[in-house]
Amino acid sequence: MALLSAIIGAAYTVAVCVALGALLVRRLGLEFCRLEATLFEFVSGSACLSLAVFALCVVHQARLPVFLAIGTAAIGWALWGARGAPQRKSLPAVSRGWLVLFAVVYAAFFTCYLVNAMAPEISPDGSGYHLGNVARDWRTGGFDWRYHSIYSSLGQGIEMLFLVAYLIGRNPAAAMVHMTFQAVLPLLMLCYGRRFGFPGVGAFAGLLVYACPVAGIAGASAYNDLAVATLVFAGFYLIQVNHHNLSFNSMFLCGLFSGFSYAVKYTAGLALPFAAAMTRGRRWLALSLGAMAMAGPWMVRNWIWLKNPVAPFLNSWFPNPYWSASAEHEYLAGLRQYPTFKSYWDFWSQLTVLGGLVPGMIGPAFLLLPLAVLALRNAHGRRLLAAGAVYSIPAFLNIEVRFLIPALPFFALALGLAMQNSRGMLPAVALFQALACWPQVMTTYSDPNAWRIRGIPLRAALRLEPESQFIASHVGDYALKDAIALAVPPGERIFSFAGRAQAYIERDIVVGYESSQGWRIQEAMERAAAAKSGRRSAALLAKSEGCGFLLVNDADAVANDIKQGMKDWGVNKVAEANGTTLYAIN
Amino acid sequence: MEQRYTLLIKIAFAVVLVVLVVQVYRAATLPVGSGEAYLYDRFVRPSTGQVLASELPDRDVLYSLLEKRSVGLFHVSPFSVRLPGFLFGVLYLVAVWRIAGSMLGSGWRFLAVVAAAAALPLRWDWFVRAEGTGAALALLVCAAWLAVERRYLNLIGICLGLSLTAQIGFAIPAMALALSILALRRSWWEWIDRVAIPAVAVVVILLAVPASHARAPAENPPELTAGQASQLQSALDALRDDAGTKPIRIATFPAAEPIVNFYRAQHRANNWERVLRENVAGHFDYYLIPAADSARAGELVYGDAYFVVVRAPL
């Protein structure tokens, strides 16, 4: 039943996206070819649905009956409008060899990703704040204005789509919605190649990105990176299609994609200036209108709610009581902390093959990336390389390899263009990437700690293995779920020094580094533990901030002090599991 | 230039055949050397995961992959580990024949070049020994042949790339040949597309994963001379006869260690514990040591000018 509802939840959300997109594309009068049209309808519809859910969250009407009513109406309207529509043209054909290779590899990886997405969510950020935010929105019927965390103040463009799926099929449904973006991206790349006369290159690049290990795991989890990659690529595609004759409507849609990219992940805000640069400022009004339609609501929300339109960043420009500039500085410095590499080769091998020091890897075929500069001889290649360079910028600000994902489609296409005249090389390299990136094959050579798909958990996906057993074996915090539900009254908050799997804990958690309130509690407790005095006052401070419970990992700085001096702190141990202890403050 | 079956060509053909027969004979009869046994023991015998986990710099990636296939098909023997090398020898002779035919016609010079080029590798047993040098040379000559005949340009790049993966030391000759092709053809983009890119792609496909794992310092096993290698086989035969089927531990010296393990695999002597190079301690049943160090107590099982096998007292 859980599996069926997850599939229905994801399918329904995707269907509503396509329906809304079909209505929008028809309204804008944009011409697309057959497969291309469906893909663009999904992408543009996802922006519309996200915006609609945002509005419902603001007025606290994000409830299943409302979603069902709006979605069903949209689907009906789209079907009604599609009656008698002329048949669309088809894009230039792909050769049979490429078609077979693409279909086989795509089908194999699609199955692998689908099974992983269908299994209960166990990814760190997915079960942490992405679905944590969704679960909170579900509990309150919209945005919870009382809860402050850097992760709840980020744009939640994709979480708005997750919410629709979540209400029907819970966590796996949300992951499957993200997986749909992942499945759309290589098809869009294939269409791009077909439209511009290099179908083999499109298929090659699509396979390279689809098989990419970090894109695989991120796409099959409730993250947002593949949605960002698909959106920025769709925006780029749209500009290329209309390069010589930029219409107001096409630029409005491009703006919509740019704005939605920002709403999904701030780093993708680069899409707007890049689109403006690509079009040399033509139709800037349409572009800006589209972008503001999607990004504007999130900025206004944050401005009114947190006094900072770009919260949780630029706090020195927009001082607010919820997060300080110094905390922001410390947090960002931590994200930029690259490990020490012995050599350039060490860095490249970690990035492409091993994936231990930089979490995740992009696949060994990307070692050929330097060859992509040869695409500079081609006008398309120059634009693709420029886009790849621009969308790589966020990777310099965060060590996680997934921040490179939005740049990969551009680099893969540029690499394909550079190698397209070398007969037999594109299929050979694509096949190599596919074989080398198959989960079982990766086990033989990648770092044991690399963030990647580790298998095909069919039993967990089909719920033959109990959901709770599967989650508990991967998510440490899950063991405390029942204890928290029993001991912590609804509405009560818990303080934690580290981030938690909030998707599975039905109480709000105030994390130390995620808000000014958290910082206050954390600093007071750490100071008390170091000075060995004022422990009770620190515990009472947490209680006065609304946190009557503490979740402490054995590795936390204060863990031993609390364990040995529960009386001094005035706390009681409630439960303990997997190196984490739940305390109640008396 | 079209060749006719002149007497000189028939002689050249006979020379090539003789060289091939000699190579087959030597491949089947020469005792396995330390380098060959080392390649088998470190890179062919273990699973891919174990090879990568050992983090050793893989000397001859292409050869070890082909040797793995050959051993999988024909079980471990001196000939099966050398079979890929022999086949590269055939490729080398074909390439030499075609280059000489294209450039020198079918006269005396053709005969002289073919005979010299065919016989020269015998001096170092490049196509007899199980190592990457012969493979790399054959692929390089093959690339030169395709360049001389001005066809299958893509294959030139692939051959150059494979040559480098067969023996990394061939990077400079491969690059020199690639640049010579550029100098001759004077078509930059054609060279990039047909030579450089295929070469680089092949290198990345075959070396990306092994090179990422090659972090440990290289092991350089000391080589035995041909005579020593031959006597070592006799020593091992004597040891096997003496030990029978009872489980045994053997202590030996670094140059013999991979050969003992090779012998163990070849004769499926599963009652022999694998010999380790390092962290060797505890009780041993047999000592296989150079004759010069034969002061160890125990019963002599075998002895010659080079080695002795001593059974340890119970």
ipTM, 2 dp:
0.90
Q: Say if B152 is an interface residue toward chain A (CB within 8 Å).
A: no
Q: What is the pLDDT of residue B295?
A: 67
CA gyration radius for chain B? 23
Q: Which of residues 153-172 of B touch A (CB under 8 A)?
A: 154, 157
Range of B166's domain?
A: 7-213
The domain total for chain B is 2
Same domain, B17 and B42: yes
Same domain, B36 and B175: yes
Same domain, B118 and B243: no
Q: Is residue B2 part of a domain?
A: no
Q: Say if A375 is an interface residue toward chain B (CB within 8 Å).
A: no
Name the phi and psi angles at A553, rounded to 5.
Answer: -80, 150
Contact A422 B211 (CB under 8 A): no
Same domain, B94 and B195: yes
* Domain end position, chosen among B213, B234, B269: B213
Q: Is residue B291 part of a domain?
A: yes
Contact A349 B211 (CB under 8 A): yes
Q: Is residue B219 part of a domain?
A: no
Q: What is the DSSP string of A275-344?
A: HHHHTTTTTHHHHHHHHHHHHHHHHHHHHHHHS-TTTTS-TTTS--SSS-HHHHHHHHHHHT-PPP-SSH
Contact A422 B48 (CB under 8 A): no
Strand partners, A585: A571
Contact A424 B211 (CB under 8 A): no
Chain segment A28-64, per-residue pLDDT in tens: 999 999 999 999 999 999 999 999 999 999 999 999 9
Q: What integer is the mean pLDDT of A516-532?
A: 96
Q: What is the pLDDT of residue A340?
A: 82
Q: Is residue B87 part of a domain?
A: yes
Of A352, A419, A429, the CB nearest to B205: A429
Q: Where are the alpha helices (DSSP H) in B75-152?
A: 78-104, 108-124, 132-148
Chain segment A457-478, per-residue pLDDT in tens: 999 999 999 999 999 999 999 9
Q: What is the DSSP string of A209-229?
A: HHH-HHHHHHHTTT-SHHHHH
How many of the other CB atoms lie within 10 Å of CB of B20?
A: 16
How far apart, in Å, are the Cα atoms of B118 and each of A262, A463, B20, B136? 67, 66, 9, 16
Substitution target from A376, A377, A425 for chain B, most B beta carbons within 10 A:
A425
The residue of chain A nearest to residue B47, with distances taken between CA atoms, is A444
- Count CB pairs under 8 A between chains A and B: 64
Rounded to a whole number of angstroms, the distance from the CA of A404 to the nearest CA of chain B is 20
Q: What is the pLDDT of residue A2?
A: 87
CA atoms within 13 A on the CB side of B148: 17
Confidence band of B314 (pLDDT split at 50, 70, 90) = low
Does residue B296 carry a pLDDT above 70? no
Q: Is residue B220 part of a domain?
A: no
Q: Which of residues 76-135 of B touch A (CB under 8 A)?
A: none
Contact A428 B209 (CB under 8 A): no
- Residues of chain B neighbouring A352 (CB-CB closer than 8 A): 208, 212
Q: What integer is the mean pLDDT of A242-261?
A: 93
Q: What is the pLDDT of residue B294?
A: 65
Same domain, B209 and B230: no
Chain segment B124-180, per-residue pLDDT in tens: 999 999 999 999 999 999 999 999 988 888 899 999 999 999 999 999 999 999 999
* Domain end position, chosen among B160, B192, B213: B213
Does residue B59 carry a pLDDT above 60? yes
Residue-averaged pLDDT of chain A? 96
Contact B208 A364 (CB under 8 A): yes
Same domain, B53 and B80: yes
Same domain, B98 and B181: yes
Same domain, B176 and B286: no
Task: Give the whole-angstrom CA distance, residue A457 versus residue A118.
Answer: 9
Q: What is the pLDDT of residue A341?
A: 85
Contact A368 B201 (CB under 8 A): yes
Q: What integer is the mean pLDDT of A231-241?
A: 96
Q: What is the pLDDT of residue B26?
A: 94
Q: Say if A219 is an interface residue toward chain B (CB within 8 Å).
A: no
Q: Say if A445 is an interface residue toward chain B (CB within 8 Å).
A: yes
Contact A429 B201 (CB under 8 A): yes
Chain segment A199-234, per-residue pLDDT in tens: 999 999 999 999 999 999 999 999 999 999 999 999
The residue of chain B nearest to residue A372, with distances taken between CA atoms, is B197
* Domain end position, chosen among B179, B213, B247: B213
Q: What is the pLDDT of residue B110?
A: 93
Domain residue ranges of chain A, discontinuous segments joined by +: 2-445, 475-585
Q: Is residue B41 part of a domain?
A: yes
Task: Give the whole-angstrom CA distance, residue A272 versus residue A277.
Answer: 9
Place of tokens 């006008």: A379
Same domain, B90 and B161: yes
- Residues of chain A neighbouring B49 (CB-CB closer than 8 A): 443-445
Q: What is the pLDDT of residue A536?
A: 96
